[in-house]
Amino acid sequence: MKHILYLLVAVAFTMSCSKEKKALKSIGGETWVMTKSTYEDTGSEDLTGIRRAFTFDKCKAKDQPCSGTFEYQIPAYDQDLQWTITYSVSAGADLLTVVRTPSNFQGTAQTDEYEILQLEKDFMELKDLENNHVSEWKTE
């Protein structure tokens, strides 16, 4: 009986690791641009003239945390903020953790945790776990 239990635990661990590998392969090496932003209390945000983009460097599960960049640009206000990031995928590919460190302005590092609601080749939907903000992203 113990052998069956150990086998089931090993299979579950392997499946969860392979999901994380697949998720890392899907997001890595791509620039993802936010196309829709919805807040629970205020509804959809107008993204006209705003660019929010993650660039996730290619990475393997064993090399986590991975690196990349995050850009937030509003040309009408001459705003171009950039962060270097580290990111990891965990919890069976259901959790994306991003640590942002300002790279072209003064500020402090910030950690964001997202539930991965949907991940396809060129589309991703994330839910910010701190404020229930749901965003949609497409590859550039």
Question: Higher-confidence residue: 10 or 99?
Answer: 99
pLDDT for residue 8: 30
pTM for the model: 0.83
pLDDT for residue 25: 92
Give 66-97 pLDDT, tens digit per residue.
999 999 999 999 999 999 999 999 989 999 99
pLDDT for residue 17: 60
Please check the confidence at residue 9 and state whether its pLDDT lies above 80. no
Confirm if 139 and 131 have CB atoms less than 8 A apart.
Answer: no
Task: Give the angle 107-109-115 at the CA atoms, nearest 5°.
Answer: 130
Out of 2.40.128.280, 3.30.70.260, 3.60.21.10, 3.40.50.10140, which CATH number does the structure's domain 2-139 have?
Answer: 2.40.128.280
The one-letter amino acid code at 49 reads: G
